[in-house]
A and B are shown apart, each in its own frame.
Chain A
Amino acid sequence: DTEVTQTPKHLVMGMTNKKSLKCEQHMGHRAMYWYKQKAKKPPELMFVYSYEKLSINESVPSRFSPECPNSSLLNLHLHALQPEDSALYLCASSQSSLRTDYYEQYFGPGTRLTVT
C-alpha cells in the first residue's frame, strides 16, 4: 500500500468556522508533511512531523494548527481562516525526515479548500 489518503476532497468554509483536514498513511512512514499549494504555484511547506513530533513550523499563522495523533495520522485544524487561505492542501509522508538521507515523499490527492 503506497497510498496517502486525505479527507475531505473539497471543503468550503466561512471565516468563522472551525474545520479539520485529515491525512492517513499505512506505509510505516515516520515523517509526515503539510503543504499549501495555490493555483499555478509550487507547493509550500507548512509543517513537518518526525516521529510524531513537530520538527519544523515554517512560521505558519496560528489559525492553522497541526496535530499528529499517531504515526499514521495527521490532522490540520483550521480556525478563523481568511479568503487568501483558499488553496490545495497537500499531505505527504516519507520514511524519514528532512534531516536524513534519501526520503521520497508520497503525496496525497489533496483537499481543495475555499474560504468564503
Chain B
Amino acid sequence: GQNIDQPTEMTATEGAIVQINCTYQTSGFNGLFWYQQHAGEAPTFLSYNVLDGLEEKGRFSSFLSRSKGYSYLLLKELQMKDSASYLCAVSDNNDMRFGAGTRLTVKP
C-alpha cells in the first residue's frame, strides 16, 4: 500500500518563504510530483523529482530524499495568488496517488 502525508493547512505572509513537507511510503517509486490546485479548478503541474536533490523553477523549488521518503516544496516571495492547495503525488509502476493536499493561505 501507499501512504502520502502532508500538513492539512498552512498560513504565511505575502513576500515570505514557506516550505510544505511531504512524506511517503510506497511499494515502488517512479517519481514525486507537486501540483497546485485552486478551489474549483483542476490541478496544475509544478515540479517533478525522481533523483535526490533540489529542483528549482523560478519562485518554486522542490527537494527529494528517496532514502528518507521525504520531499518538500519551497515557495519564495509569496504572492496572494499562491493561496491554493498543494498536492504531493507519488507514482510507482502501477499507480499514481495524491496526498490529501496542503491548503496554503497567504495573508497580506
Interface residue from B44, B93, B96, B100 paired with A45 (Cβ < 8 Å): B96
Interface residue from A42, A90, A104 paired with B99 (Cβ < 8 Å): A42
How far does the alpha carbon of A42 sit from the alpha carbon of B62 in the complex, in Å? 20
Query: Do A110 and B42 have beta carbons less than 8 Å apart?
Result: yes
Interface residue from B42, B93, B94 paired with A108 (Cβ < 8 Å): B42
Interface residue from B41, B95, B100 paired with A41 (Cβ < 8 Å): B100
Interface residue from B87, B89, B93 paired with A99 (Cβ < 8 Å): B93
Total contacts A-B at CB 8 Å:
50
Interface residue from B42, B48, B95, B100 paired with A102 (Cβ < 8 Å): B48
Answer whether residue B98 sits at the interface, using C-beta atoms and an 8 A cutoff: yes
Answer whether residue A14 sits at the interface, using C-beta atoms and an 8 A cutoff: no
Answer whether residue A11 sits at the interface, using C-beta atoms and an 8 A cutoff: no
How far does the alpha carbon of A42 sit from the alpha carbon of B97 in the complex, in Å? 9
Most chain B beta-carbon contacts within 10 A, residue among A56, A106, A107: A107
Chain B contacts for A41, CB-based, 8 A: 100
* Interfacial residues, chain B to chain A (CB-CB below 8 A): 30-31, 33, 41-45, 48, 50, 87, 89, 91, 93-101
Report the 7 A-B pairs with minimum CB-CB distance, sorted nearest first: A42-B98, A107-B42, A104-B45, A107-B43, A109-B42, A45-B96, A43-B98
The 11 listed contacts between A and B (C-beta, < 8 Å) are A42-B98, A42-B100, A45-B95, A98-B91, A98-B96, A99-B93, A102-B50, A104-B48, A105-B33, A107-B42, A108-B42
